[in-house]
């Protein structure tokens, strides 16, 4: 549409070749910076030591502690009624928060990337808000809004609705702190891609819905998956905001992270680490999948793509 689109002119026609070219370009860059081998070794060494000390070691400790009283105790900690209820609640919360944020992320990204309207940049800033607000503050916000003495508290009480110190509050707080993940990932990509494909589909007679299903979704699916992965990891691992609104009622409003804290405070270290090991496992799986997505579908993720 705009003349900027002629930027395509520069794109090489045969992108099958772009892979090896890119790699060659990357390799040839290191001589340009001209660092000595010693400096290189030192920098790599520092990074490795730092990572081991602050990431790998703690992770290893989580698993060692978890199994410190044997496999039976580990298993026992995981299948205790409280733990099971915490795991169930965490899964439930994620099962609600993640789809909600997929819907929200898609809608927001669509609006922002494909339409022009006043206040757009403000909206983008707003989407990032949860990242800049401390989760505890976010939790308090909901308490002030829905708590017994909060703004809507009396009304909720009159209608026999429980939000704070109940599952709905936990879900709300989780949605709040995780909502930028999907939206951000999609906005960047969809702005990059523009509206050309969609307009083409429409001009070929496709309805709005089939345009979305057959053109937009395939274009964004890997970025969407990437965002969902991060969103899910955070939804299951969120502590601060959830801690404020949950009320820590055992077997009822305890999520996995809260359960870990309670066990730990009761000096039940092995059980605490057993449950924590599940969260650590989730983190590891997320990391592996994330890396897989990044290497395999680099071009389909925003910002990481070079040409387009």
Ligand X SMILES: Nc1ncnc2c1ncn2[C@@H]1O[C@H](COP(=O)(O)OP(=O)(O)O)[C@@H](O)[C@H]1O
Residues 3-42 that bind ligand X (CB under 6 A): 3
| Per-residue 3-state assignment (H helix, E strand, C coil) for the chain | CCHHHHHHHHCCCCHHHHHHHHHHHHHCHHHHHCCCHHHHHHHHHHHHHHHHHHHHHHHHHHHHHHCCCHHHHHHHHHHCHHHHHHHHHHHHHHHHHHHHHHHHHHHHHHHHHHCCCCCHHHHHHHHHHHHHCCHHHHHHHHHHHHCCCCCCHHHHHHCCCCCCCCHHHHHHHHHHHHHHHHHHHHHHHHHHHCCHHHHHHHHCCCCHHHHHHHHHHHHHHHHHHHHHHHHHHHHHHCCHHHHHHHCCCCCCCCCHHHHHHHHHHCCCHHHHHHHHHHHHHHHHHHHHHHHHHHHHCHHHCCCCCCCC
Q: Give the residue with the Cβ less far from ligand X, 198 or 238.
A: 198
**What is the pattern of x (binds another protein, CB under 8 A) and - over residues 108-127?**
--------x-----------
Under rule CB under 8 A, residue 78 binds another protein: no
Under rule CB under 8 A, residue 38 binds another protein: no
Under rule CB under 8 A, residue 30 binds another protein: no
Q: Which of 144, 145, 202, 289 binds another protein (CB under 8 A)?
A: 202
The item of another protein, ligand X, none sharing an interface with residue 191, based on CB under 5 to 8 Å by kind, is none
**What is the pattern of x (binds another protein, CB under 8 A) and - over residues 208-237?**
--x---xx--xx------------------
Number of residues in contact with another protein under rule CB under 8 A: 29
Q: At closest approach, how far in Å is the CB of 186 from ligand X?
A: 21
The item of another protein, ligand X, none sharing an interface with residue 41, based on CB under 5 to 8 Å by kind, is none
Residues interacting with another protein, by CB under 8 A?
1-3, 5-6, 8-9, 11, 13-16, 116, 196-197, 199-207, 210, 214-215, 218-219
């Amino acid at each position: 549409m705009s003349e900027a689109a002629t930027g395509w002119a520069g794109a090489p026609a045969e992108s099958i070749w772009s892979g090896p070219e890119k790699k060659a370009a990357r390799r040839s860059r290191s001589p340009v910076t001209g660092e000595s081998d010693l400096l290189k070794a030192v920098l790599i060494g520092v990074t490795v030591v730092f990572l081991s000390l602050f990431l790998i070691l703690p992770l290893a400790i989580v698993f060692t502690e978890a199994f410190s009283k044997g496999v039976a105790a580990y298993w026992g900690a995981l299948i205790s009624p409280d733990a099971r209820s915490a795991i169930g609640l965490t899964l439930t919360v994620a099962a609600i928060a993640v789809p909600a944020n997929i819907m929200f992320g898609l809608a927001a990204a669509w609006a922002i990337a494909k339409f022009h309207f006043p206040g757009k940049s403000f909206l983008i800033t707003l989407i990032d808000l949860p990242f800049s607000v401390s989760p505890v503050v976010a939790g308090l916000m909901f308490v002030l809004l829905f708590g017994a003495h909060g703004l809507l508290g009396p009304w909720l009480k009159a209608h026999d609705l429980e939000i704070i110190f109940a599952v709905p509050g936990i879900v709300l707080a989780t949605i709040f702190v995780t909502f930028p993940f999907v939206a951000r990932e999609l906005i960047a990509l969809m702005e990059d891609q523009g509206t050309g494909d969609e307009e083409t589909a429409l001009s070929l007679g496709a309805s709005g819905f089939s345009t979305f299903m057959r053109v937009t979704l395939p274009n964004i699916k890997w970025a969407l998956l990437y965002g969902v992965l991060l969103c899910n990891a955070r939804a299951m691992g969120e502590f601060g905001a959830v801690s404020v609104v949950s009320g820590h009622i055992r077997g009822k409003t305890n999520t996995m992270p809260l359960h870990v804290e309670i066990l730990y405070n009761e000096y039940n270290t092995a059980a605490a680490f057993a449950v924590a090991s599940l969260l650590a496992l989730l983190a590891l799986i997320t990391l592996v999948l994330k890396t897989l997505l990044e290497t395999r579908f680099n071009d389909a993720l925003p910002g990481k793509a070079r040409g387009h």
